[in-house]
Amino acid sequence: MKNLALLLILLTTTGMLSAQKTGEISLKQNIENYSRLTGVTIFPNPVKDRLNIELDDYQNCLIYLYDINGKKVFKQKIEDDIQASFDISNLDTGTYLLFIINEQDKKSVNFRIQKL
């Protein structure tokens, strides 16, 4: 898995921009951190056939998937499940936006999904 370089961009008193490398974080570590913060795990991503979702703190959710043009291509309600799997093999290759909305407290989270 690739590492991402973290850069600190500074605006100096003379108005010049300078960049300073502050460290590296692996893409896998970044995804794991985001999953812990949101209580939602999406895998695999990129996805070919089945998209799996694990929900820690979301019950009675609505799942929406939009293509890059904003067209809704998928909608599903999840009642009390903490895991769900969806067949998206019929979708075209490309980038999609996944929105998960908790109906009880209106908490939401979104992910960018790459369909192979």
CB 43 within 8 Å of CB 50:
no
Q: Is residue 111 packed enough to be buried (19+ CB in 10 Å), middle (13-18) or exposed (0-12)?
A: buried
The pLDDT value recorded for residue 57 is 67
pLDDT of residue 87 exceeding 90: yes
pLDDT higher at 98 or 28? 98
Domains in the chain, number: 2
Same domain, 29 and 69: no
Same domain, 31 and 65: no
3-state secondary structure of 111: strand
Same domain, 34 and 45: no
The pLDDT value recorded for residue 38 is 67
Show the domain range for 64.
40-116
The pLDDT value recorded for residue 36 is 53
pLDDT of residue 96 exceeding 70: yes
Averaged pLDDT, 64-89: 90
pLDDT of residue 31 exceeding 80: no
* Full-model pTM: 0.68
Same domain, 84 and 104: yes
Averaged pLDDT, 22-47: 62
